[in-house]
Chain A
Amino acid sequence: MSVENSLPISHRQRLWLYALGGLVMLFLIAPSVIIVIMSFSGSTLLQFPPQEWSLRWYESYLGSVEWRDATIVSVKVAVMTAIVATVLGTAAAYAINARTLRLTGAINALLTASLIIPVILIGIGTFFLYARIGLNNTLTGLVIAHTVQALPLVVLTVLSGLRSYDMNQEMVARSLGAGRFSAFFQVTMPQIRFSIVSGALFAFITSFDEVVVSLFISGGETTTLTRRMFNALRDQIDPTIAAISTCLIVLSIVLLSAAQLFGRGR
């Protein structure tokens, strides 16, 4: 046992705690594990463990034009959201960190509004607004709506990077003859790049997994993967969704590991 938490309580006395914690962890992880295993089932029946194995649900996913189109829409939107949210969020985080502006309370409240306001309200509001400016069922509309939701995550991630960074370095760069922008790009950005990349990855997942707002503002050719999944689940439980879900779980794992790796960086 490490020194940091060494209380005079033995592991034996804690056994009940480990058992309880382990059960809760099982509760948290089991659904994902079950879905991954069942996606390789060969049967249309939902059996666990499956009696026979196959890749038929993956074939069904990749073979369907509708699913493929929806996936492409989601990827496009998520990539663009990640780019836009990262640029805007990094700029905003820099300005907040500089602390030259007043009304920081109001600025923070506005930037993090989408974390507090119920998503359903954002969905209805966005649909209502888009109906008047013709952005419903467009990629642009989706990117804007998702950017607004991803922005707080990027701002918070980059801000934490900036706070652990020695701002004196940027000052030194400026005193040595680099303008503010130049100093940021030459000295600050290379050192907070891990936070920026993490922010971008979070923005990507946020957009890719977004359901509620997409239900309202996407449709037709711009139907996102999540919207199509939601509609499919309303009707019946199609095992193809297990294959798609597995892909989404793998995507989450990959992006999280990447963020973790970058976060450790240096």
Chain B
Amino acid sequence: MLLSLAQTALPIGISGIEKRFGGVSVLHDLGLDVAAGEFLTLLGPSGSGKTTLLMILAGFVRANAGSIKVGGEEMIAMPPHKRNIGMVFQSYALFPHMNVFHNIAFPLKQRRVSAAETTERVERALDLVQLKGLGERRVDQLSGGQRQRVALARAIVFEPRIVLMDEPLSALDKSLREHMQIELRNLHRRLGMTTVYVTHDQREAITMSDRVAVMNAGRIEQIDQPEILYARPKTKFVAGFIGESSFIPVECRNGSVWYEDRKLHMAAAAPSLGRHLMVVRPEKLRVIAGEPAGNVNVLPAIVGDVIYQGDSFVCYATLKDGRQVTLRDYCRSDVLAKLPAPGEPITLGIDAQDVVLVADQ
């Protein structure tokens, strides 16, 4: 029963958040809804306002205006210690003058939980983060990964309504980071706490989240499930930030989309007038030999560098207008056989259902 947060998880409703630092607006009229028990990631480059938003949620940065409702209760002007939020910092911020047990017991002590119950709940939390029996360790005797787990245990032991994490894995090395991503994900599945997670690592965001909110310059550009975010980016920024993309300018007229003098085949409805960019992912491009099928769009180009990466290869090709596109495919003999030598012309194809357009800002 303890440490099962599914029943207590609450939705978060964020609206109208304004934040200015000395006259410079860092968050502008920001709104966001997080469902109860959801794992939502704020993803963006540094300076996009994601950490500021997290700090406003935790109560350490005061917004100029806005509303944060947790389970319907307004929290925007509530002091941090009354918010009942578990927070994991990038630096872990473990208390070096306390051992592991007392670090994790800290939030329970503030809530005047009895000694017996405290011991029981701390033990259970230690078990949950796979640190059983390490309660008496000093903080400086722990490895980076263990510190991370202690910080996590401390943030969930008091069954908070929501959990906030500020780039919690960025201090770990790559393999441990990937391991912890899965572990965090599993822990979230088991406990079901509403979680807001901040990162600048798009791969981490895609691996872990139910939904990802991509932030740029103080605004949310797009909020969607990871696979939709990748397959159907709504803005040039999102397409560029998540995954690799080449952008090819296209034009919309007469209800259809044109690349130079060719009409594009596309599955989605064509936008109305205006200049747009076609988002081309490297793995969606194919080398076309002979006549293309009816629903494949053709891009003639000249082969540039070809880089072999073992299982796959990357081919840089230059379109007629001088724009460079990237093609990535597996090193299968049939594919390699179709690949011309550098400097020779090549015909690239992209399927109608893979055509994604974004506005050209």
Contacts and interface: CB of A to CB of B under 8 A. Distances in A.
Interface in A145-192: 166, 168-169, 171-180, 182-183, 186-187, 190-191
Contacts of A177: 81, 84, 107, 110-111, 158
A264 B100 CA distance: 24
Contacts of B91: 166, 168
Given A168-B89, A182-B110, A175 B95 contact: no
B93 A168 contact: yes
Nearest to A179: B81
A48 to B, nearest CB: 50
Interface string B75-96: 0000111011111010101111
A173 B358 CA distance: 45
Given A172-B87, A173-B106, A179 B79 contact: yes
Contacts of A169: 93-95
A166 B94 CA distance: 10
Contacts of B93: 166, 168-169, 171-172
A171 B89 contact: yes
A246 B344 CA distance: 93
A190 B158 CA distance: 24
Contacts of B60: 171, 174-175
Nearest to A100: B62
Interface string A53-89: 0000000000000000000000000000000000000
Contact of B97 (A182, A183, A190): A190
A174 B58 CA distance: 10
A178 B81 contact: yes
Nearest to A177: B110
Given A169-B93, A190-B97, A176 B83 contact: no
Contacts, number: 64
Contacts of A191: 96-97
Interface string B35-61: 000000000000000000000001110
B276 interface: no
B56 to A, nearest CB: 13
A175 B110 contact: no
Nearest to B166: A168
B154 interface: yes
Q: Is the interface of A mostly helix, strand, loop or mixed?
A: helix
Contact of B80 (A168, A175, A186, A190): A175
A174 B96 contact: no
Interface residues of A, number: 19
A95 B87 CA distance: 24
B81 A172 contact: no
A178 B59 CA distance: 13
A176 B96 CA distance: 16
A174 B80 contact: yes
Contacts of B85: 175
B59 A175 contact: yes
B97 A172 contact: no
Contacts of B111: 177
A171 B59 CA distance: 9
Contacts of B87: 171-172, 175-176
B106 A175 contact: no
A83 B81 CA distance: 30
Contact of A171 (B80, B83, B110): B80
Interface string B249-285: 0000000000000000000000000000000000000
Contacts of A175: 58-60, 80-81, 83, 85-87
A171 B95 CA distance: 11
Nearest to B110: A177
Interface in B209-238: none
Nearest to A170: B93
A171 B166 CA distance: 13
6 contacts: A172-B154, A175-B58, A175-B60, A176-B154, A178-B110, A191-B96
State the 8 A-B residue pairs at the shortest beta-carbon distance, nearest first: A177-B110, A176-B107, A168-B93, A175-B87, A172-B93, A174-B80, A169-B93, A190-B97
Given A173-B106, A191-B97, 8 more contacts: A169-B94, A174-B60, A175-B81, A175-B87, A176-B81, A176-B86, A179-B79, A180-B79
